[in-house]
Amino acid sequence: MTGALTGLRVLDLTHMLSGPFCTMTLADLGAETIKIEPLQGEGTRKLLATDPKHSLHGMGAYFITLNRNKKSVAIDLKSEDGLALFYSLVKEADIVVNNFAAGVPAKLKIDYPHLSEINPRIITCSVTGFGEDGPGANRPAFDQVAQAYGGGMSITGTDASQPMRAGIPIGDLGGGMFAVMGILSAVIERQRSGVGQHVDISMLDAQVSLLNYMATMYSMSGEDPEPIGNSHFVHVPYNSYPVSDGHIVLCVLTDGFWQNLKAMLNCPALDKPEYDTQPGRLADKAFIDATLANIFKSNTRAHWLAELEKYRIPSAPVNRFSDALNDRQLRHRQMVVPLQHPSGDSVEGPGCPIKLSRSRPEHYHPAPVLGQDSDAVLTEVLRLDEQEVARLRTAGVIV
């Protein structure tokens, strides 16, 4: 089965997380994704590569996950021949993605103004910390910088005096996700105009976008929100609660769910008329949460989840990775898939969350070893003969 993006060719100049996550998603959806690496290899190859618990045959968890379904061509872009080779690939490509610091693509002559002269249909995308223009464009940024700068970190955790980042790197991943959306928007627009354009993605912009309605609330009230742990500033009860063998979450978003919860628990302390509507529950939030915590700790997670499901009350276990990655629903949805090493051995990792009715990936090709596809890409895509490929290798232009 072909992927939805089969027919698109991506030149992937990315490294670390935000850029590779973008190109991984494009590759998962069927785009031919050619990873253009420096001769020593992209830096992420070394992350965890020697960690006995988190590597497979010298390939770390980062690389084996983020670079599945990609080809590897190692080119020295700083050499004249190497840059010419890259330009030849640009003529045959649809998309070029990088996450270099702002200004670096222009210095390397691989930015949109240079590449669009070679191929007017080319779509370029840069993922940077702060965007490519403005007074802060040249500041360095990594995931936690974006999380902190974007405001979300100030409302994460339980105490305003101890700001906390999200447990997953949403600064990097958010930039990568919005890059996919921007690139595909440019692809659709190109169908009308016939020409490409540049996609400028800022990790900071992505984080502020994710503030969404809470940013609007601030603009209305002028009041900075503070972290409130796992509870909610409107809905009650909406929190995590300890049980005898872990934790569960409860999300009572409507008065109807509250009536179901009362019927399930049959607790006189919670059967007050003022609690039957949201304002009354919010006014006594601390008491309701404390009462529920005392009730729930009396039995197991499985017991309470079965009861809550019976009464159609939104709830969930607070899963550890070992729980989530073995969940029947996620396994059914192919969200845990084998990720192969070129040797043939494999480990498991997350699948693609985009499920299309006719174009779903069913197999993930291994992340490539360095330069694994150099010969094939140069001979098949650029139609170079073997003698020219040998010359480039001897000259140290490719690996």
364-378 b/e with 16+ CB inside 10 Å = b? bebbbbbbbbbbebb
Q: Which residues contact 58 (CB under 8 A, 6 or more apart)?
A: 49, 50
Q: Are 171 and 142 in contact (CB under 8 A)?
A: yes
Q: What is the rounded CA–CA span in Å between residue 8 and residue 374? A: 19
* Residue in 170, 171, 101, 109 with CA at minimum distance from that of residue 139: 101
CA 232-296-303 angle, 5° bins: 115
Residue 343 backbone phi and psi in degrees, to 5: -70, -20
* Coil, helix or strand at residue 152: helix
Q: Are 56 and 46 in contact (CB under 8 A)?
A: no
Q: What is the rounded CA–CA span in Å between residue 115 and residue 124? A: 8
φ/ψ bin of 142: left (φ > 0), alpha (ψ from -120 to 50), beta (otherwise): beta
Helix, strand, coil percent content, the chain, rounded in steps of 5? 40, 15, 40
* Residue in 13, 30, 42 with CA at minimum distance from that of residue 368: 42
Compute how many other C-beta atoms are within 10 angstroms of the C-beta atom of residue 120.
Answer: 11
Residues recognised as catalytic: 172
* Residue in 124, 149, 158, 132 with CA at minimum distance from that of residue 23: 124
* Residue in 78, 133, 73 with CA at minimum distance from that of residue 109: 78
What beta strand segments (E) does 46-122 contain?
55-56, 59-60, 70-74, 95-98
